[in-house]
Structure 1
Amino acid sequence: MRLSIWPSASQPYAGILEVARHAADTGWDGVYIADHFMPNLPIGQRPETPMLEAGSLAAALGAAIPRVRIGTLVYGNTYRHPAVLANMAATVDHITGGRFVFGVGAGWQVNEHHQYGIDLPPVKQLLDRFVEALQVWHGLLRTPTTDFTGEYYQLTGAVCEPKPVQDPLPILIGAKGEKRMLKVVAEYADLWNTWGLPDTIAHKSRILDEHCATVGRDPRAIGRTAQALVVADGPLPQHLPVPVYGGSASEIARTVDGYRAIGLDELIIPDGLLGTGAERLKALDTIQAVVRS
């Protein structure tokens, strides 16, 4: 099971770089960056935490950090035209020498769209647009020339050159919706990601397998990745909107064993509850020791 770190983009670049370098130097497998411009807050509430832009961070980390895979978790489709994003992804793959993971999602965060005047359509249209974008990415990144006539995107003799170093560049889809989004994963993804503890991931993974059978795809062709917040030492916070585990090395080990038992391919560790500075680096070492044991 691969092990990757997910440093928050709401901290100074120096902190992100410190975490990424430590992970690369101590045997971790990857570094992921989220694509948001501000924290998720109600409309009208001013964000107090700055947030760095994902594409720029991916390129910077790709140039500065050796060996590990660099990925986005995940680019929101509504924020950039898919042809522009395809060129960005191919460029980062060249910067990294073929280590980029192209993580994408439909987009969802309301306050970002509201503040920037970016259209956030109803769910059906949002997902229809995302499916068209996936077709555009498959075309631009994997074929010489792309013609596409959709409701949302139109391409004429379109090229994306140079192509990525990786052939194909792995496309990771962030998705939790069981009826439609996991079917989209079955059709278009090389990797799948969602939040969840082992029981949730096992349940959704079984549904993904069923969608793979429906579309005629080998489920083993899609890597499974997941994350939850981790506490390395201390009590677990209550009433968080995302899952959390840990509190001690033994509790981390118990949950990691659960992920391993369901066949998870990659465990991703957000750094949001791991502290800062030396405390955070010590927590990374504790988690790595548990996972590698």
Structure 2
Amino acid sequence: MRLSIWPSAAQPYTDILEVARHAADTGWDGVYIADHFMPNLPAGEQPTTPMLEAGSLAAALGAAIPRVRIGTLVYGNTYRHPAVLANMAATVDHITGGRFVFGVGAGWQINEHHQYGIELPPVKQLLDRFVEALQVWHGLLRTPTTTFTGNYYQLTDAVCEPKPIQDPMPILIGAKGEKRMLKVVAEHADLWNTWGLPDVIAHKSRILDRYCTELGRDPRTIGRTAQAAVVVDGPLPDNATFPVYGGSTSEIARTVDGYREIGLDELIIPDGLLGTGPQRLKALDTIQAVVRT
């Protein structure tokens, strides 16, 4: 099972670089970056925490950090035209020497769209647009030219050069919706990602397997990746709105064993509950020792 770190983009670049470099130096497999411009807050609450932009971060980390894979969790489709994003992804794959994981999703965060005047359509239209974008990405990144006529995107003999070094560069889809999004994953993804503890991932993975079977695709051709927040040597947060595990080394090991038993291909660790500075680096070492045991 691969092990990757997910440093928050809501911290100084030097801190992100420290985490990523430590992970690369100590045997981790990947570094992921989220694609947001501000914290997710309800209407009327003004974000004050700075947030670094994902595309720039991916390129910077790809140039600065050796060996590990660099990925996005996940680019929001609504923020950039898919042709523009395809060129960004191909460029980062060249910067990294063929180590980029192109993580994409439909987009969802309300306050970003509201503040920037970016359209956030109803769910059906949002997902229809995302499916069109996936077809655009597959075309531009994997074929010489792309002509596409959709309801949202139109391309005519379009090129994306240079192509990624990887052939193909993996497309990761972040998705949790069981009625439609997991079917989209079955149709278009090389990798799948969602939040959840082992029981949730196992349940959704079975649904994904079923969609693959219906489509005539071998479920084993889609890599499974997941994350939940981790606490090392401390109490779990009260009333957490996200999945979290740990508190002690033995509890971390128990949950990691659960991920391994369900066949997870890659475990991703958000750094939000790991502290800062030396405390965080020590937590990374503790987690890595548990996973590699």
TM range (shorter): over 0.9
Runs of 4+ with deviation above 6 angstroms: none
Question: Who is 1:79 aligned against?
Answer: 79
Question: Who is 2:8 aligned against?
Answer: 8
2:212 paired with 1:212 = yes
How far apart are 1:259 and its partner, in Å? 0.1
1:30-52 alpha-carbon deviations (Å, 9 max, x no partner): 00000000000012211111000
2:120 paired with 1:120 = yes
The 5-angstrom pairing of residues 152-167 of structure 1 reads 152-167=152-167
- Distance in 2 of aligned mates of 1:189 and 1:257: 26
Identity across aligned pairs (percent)?
Answer: 88
Question: Who is 2:194 aligned against?
Answer: 194
The 5-angstrom pairing of residues 127-206 of structure 1 reads 127-206=127-206
How far apart are 1:117 and its partner, in Å? 0.3
- Distance in 1 of aligned mates of 2:240 and 2:58: 27
- Give SS of 2:36's match: coil
Residue type of the alignment partner of 1:183:
K
Residue type of the alignment partner of 1:284:
L
Residue type of the alignment partner of 1:9:
A
- Give SS of 1:31's match: strand
How far apart are 1:229 and its partner, in Å? 0.3
Question: Who is 2:98 aligned against?
Answer: 98
Structure 2 gaps, min length 5: none
Question: Who is 2:288 aligned against?
Answer: 288
Cα pair 1:43 1:114 within 8 Å, conserved: no
2:24 paired with 1:27 = no
Q: Provide the TM-score with structure 1 as the length reference.
A: 1.00
- Give SS of 1:121's match: coil
2:253 paired with 1:253 = yes
Aligned length: 293
- Give SS of 2:251's match: helix
Question: Who is 1:46 aligned against?
Answer: 46
How far apart are 1:107 and its partner, in Å? 0.1
1:48-73 alpha-carbon deviations (Å, 9 max, x no partner): 11000000000000000000000000
Structure 1 gaps, min length 5: none
- Give SS of 1:132's match: helix
Question: Who is 1:275 aligned against?
Answer: 275
- Distance in 2 of aligned mates of 1:241 and 1:173: 22
- Distance in 1 of aligned mates of 2:235 and 2:241: 17
How far apart are 1:233 and its partner, in Å? 1.1
1:167-220 alpha-carbon deviations (Å, 9 max, x no partner): 001000000000100000000000000000000000000000000011111000
- Distance in 2 of aligned mates of 1:132 and 1:238: 41
Cα pair 1:231 1:247 within 8 Å, conserved: yes
1:66-103 alpha-carbon deviations (Å, 9 max, x no partner): 00000000000000000000000000000000000000
Question: Who is 2:222 aligned against?
Answer: 222
- Distance in 1 of aligned mates of 2:46 and 2:288: 37
